[in-house]
Amino acid sequence: MSLVVVGSVAFDAIETPFGKTDKIIGGAATYISLASSYFNNKVNLVAVVGGDFPKSDIKMLQGHGVNTAGLQIKENEKSFFWSGKYHNDMNSRDTLVTELNVLGTFDPIVPDEYQDCEYLMLGNLAPSVQSTVIKRLKKRPKLIVMDTMNFWMDVAMKDLEHTLSLVDVLSINDEEARQLSKEYSLVKAAKKIMAMGPKVLIIKKGEHGALLFNKDQVFFAPALPLEEVFDPTGAGDTFAGGFIGYLASTKDISFDNMKRGIIYGSAMASFCVEKFGVERIVDLSTAELESRVQQFVDLVQFEIRIG
Amino acid sequence: MSLVVVGSVAFDAIETPFGKTDKIIGGAATYISLASSYFNNKVNLVAVVGGDFPKSDIKMLQGHGVNTAGLQIKENEKSFFWSGKYHNDMNSRDTLVTELNVLGTFDPIVPDEYQDCEYLMLGNLAPSVQSTVIKRLKKRPKLIVMDTMNFWMDVAMKDLEHTLSLVDVLSINDEEARQLSKEYSLVKAAKKIMAMGPKVLIIKKGEHGALLFNKDQVFFAPALPLEEVFDPTGAGDTFAGGFIGYLASTKDISFDNMKRGIIYGSAMASFCVEKFGVERIVDLSTAELESRVQQFVDLVQFEIRIG
């Protein structure tokens, strides 16, 4: 198997009711790569950073088996920077700063050694950049998973529709699903969105879990009830990373295996929110991960004999 | 086993984006009794109505095995009446009319034949009325389950605290749990509320499912993703009725059986919201109920081999 991850590698500055950070490593592809690295020895990254991006952070990614052959470093430019402040309920946030910098002209390079890609994860990015990566792969991957956000629905809907028509799985949150489908009911929304291209749809509901739709099948994965959510930044990307990472490592894209992927993704995301940024997911042990997955099993396990 | 249900039997007038009703039968004890009647041949009702309450509705309840020996009929007074209008998202509503009428002076009568009560369900009512019923039972029931709402936290907190100290299980929604505990995190809220009396706490999250807490254990039951929620009125009471009805019929109050009770309650509630008022839950077949419970099983079922 070969897993390619595309997305932003960037700086974040985060403020929550529990404190604030300086510029720390962030970006969709960072979270996705780290999360999927717990399931795969090698994760092939496609991204761009500026000359200001610390070599130590790149080394940290490499230490997780992330292949940075597809990471462009534009020495004279600056990395993408996002800054946000979460409200007390942790469910809403204000964006304080968005500096596109290198991301404004991102032309993704797909190294030759990535051409055997079987699993492609398109992290949130301009949909035209996402479709460019698909085009630059000579052979279509076995599974293409895509994340996006409402911003692209507002400013690049045509591009988004095109990219949607090319992918197998779309992962978005409930608010985005409603905006994309113009339906309030998530069941109705799912039907409309699956008619736009993706055969499988994941709707993330944050602290309320996630839904997985496939034709007439639906699976629900809970979120772990936590005492405290410290910083939700990157939780959705970490979820996606756990999901694609698990699928790529097991080489099984059946609906039943996607259910397991959703549980692993949810487990990874539950770690992510426990500390600022990537702090909690840079150094997880196998025992920690297994014990967390067991908590998910226990959380929903019941036995009913019907009839 | 003997199940006693206390609560309002009343008139509702409901407006949703799908239409509106005249005065129809409503009230917590109505929904609870009907839902629990699918699991028990006999449900003993304690409630009060006015002379305006239709004999046909009382007959309908009796037809479901509801014992109305504890239903007072105050011929010269009027029944409790509530009228509300749901917003487009169906998650919020405005109360248009609340006429307490007979409920304002409700002095609950517990007939002698109810004295063998093993399972007691206290539907939403003034907490002082709820505790009066407990006091009037000569032998403490095996299990007392209580529902309440934020209104009583605002106007009768002392009474509510006293009643809470007497019950085994409390069933409230997430907003109410937060108000009662002054904690945003539902895990923290659960700890505080269980310290107030109930050994077991159910937190209902509407379309986001329900959590069951017991000491350090937690179980999560999803809500069924529905194409359309037609009328949410009574869903929480129907849930409680399915829960206590299942427990009473199986005579098992273990945590594992409570999990099953939550699933049956959720299944009953998923029917309730499909039509106005009690319309959908007055005439369910066993096959319908079993098939709905199977949908809940399928919705969360996955297999993971850990380690």
**A195 and B CB contact within 8 Å:** no
**A192 and B CB contact within 8 Å:** no
For B199-227, what is each residue's pLDDT tens digit?
A: 999 999 999 999 999 999 999 999 999 99
Mean pLDDT score of chain A, rounded to an integer? 96
DSSP for residue B104? G
For A1-16, what is each residue's pLDDT tens digit?
A: 599 999 999 999 999 9
Reply yes or no on whether the pLDDT at B69 is more than 90: yes
pLDDT, average across residues B24-32: 98
Q: Check if the beta carbon of residue B115 is closer than 8 Å to that of residue B139.
A: yes
DSSP for residue A66? E
**B299 and A CB contact within 8 Å:** yes
Alpha helices in chain B, H assignment, sequence order: 28-37, 55-63, 127-136, 150-155, 157-164, 174-181, 186-194, 235-250, 255-272, 286-300
Confidence category of residue A306, pLDDT binned at 50, 70, 90: confident
Interchain CB contacts (distance < 8 Å): A and B = 93
For the whole model, what pTM was predicted?
Answer: 0.95
CB contact (8 A) between residue A219 and residue B300: yes
Reply yes or no on whether the pLDDT at B125 is more than 80: yes
Confidence category of residue B141, pLDDT binned at 50, 70, 90: very high
Q: Is B104 exposed, middle or buried (0-12, 13-18, 19+ CB in 10 A)?
A: exposed
Query: Which tokens hold the place of B270?
Result: 């998923």
Q: Check if the beta carbon of residue B81 is closer than 8 Å to that of residue B97.
A: yes
A111-to-A47, A79, A123, B127 alpha-carbon distances in Å: 12, 21, 18, 69
Per-residue confidence (pLDDT) for residue B91, from 0 to 100: 77
For A19-60, what is each residue's pLDDT tens digit?
A: 999 999 999 999 999 999 999 999 999 999 999 999 999 999
**B188 and A CB contact within 8 Å:** yes
Per-residue confidence (pLDDT) for residue B181, from 0 to 100: 98
Reply yes or no on whether the pLDDT at B32 is more than 80: yes
For A260-295, what is each residue's pLDDT tens digit?
A: 999 999 999 999 999 999 999 999 999 999 999 999
For residue B181, the chain A residues in CB contact (below 8 A) are none
For A204-220, what is each residue's pLDDT tens digit?
A: 999 999 999 999 999 99
Q: Check if the beta carbon of residue A164 is closer than 8 Å to that of residue A197.
A: yes
Reply yes or no on whether the pLDDT at B1 is more than 70: no
CB contact (8 A) between residue B187 and residue A225: yes
What CATH code is assigned to B3-300? 3.40.1190.20
For B156-210, what is each residue's pLDDT tens digit?
A: 999 999 999 999 999 999 999 999 999 999 999 999 999 999 999 999 999 999 9
Mean pLDDT score of chain B, rounded to an integer? 96
Confidence category of residue B92, pLDDT binned at 50, 70, 90: confident
For B229-272, what is each residue's pLDDT tens digit?
A: 999 999 999 999 999 999 999 999 999 999 999 999 999 999 99
Q: How many residues does chain A have?
A: 307
| CA dist., res. A33 & res. A37, Å (int) | 6
Per-residue confidence (pLDDT) for residue A188, from 0 to 100: 97
Nearest CB to A225 within list B211, B221, B300: B211
Segment (H or E) for B49? strand B43-50
Per-residue confidence (pLDDT) for residue B276, from 0 to 100: 95
Nearest CB to B290 within list A229, A301, A307: A307
CB contact (8 A) between residue B302 and residue A187: no
For residue A301, the chain B residues in CB contact (below 8 A) are 259
Give the ipTM: 0.93
CB contact (8 A) between residue A185 and residue B228: yes
Reply yes or no on whether the pLDDT at A241 is more than 80: yes
**B180 and A CB contact within 8 Å:** no
Per-residue confidence (pLDDT) for residue A91, from 0 to 100: 77
Selected residues 255-294 of chain B with any CB under 8 Å from a CB in chain A = 256, 259-260, 263, 290, 293-294
Per-residue confidence (pLDDT) for residue A1, from 0 to 100: 57
**B210 and A CB contact within 8 Å:** no
- Name the nearest CA neighbour of A164 among A210, A206, A131, A203: A131
**B209 and A CB contact within 8 Å:** yes
CB contact (8 A) between residue B302 and residue A211: no
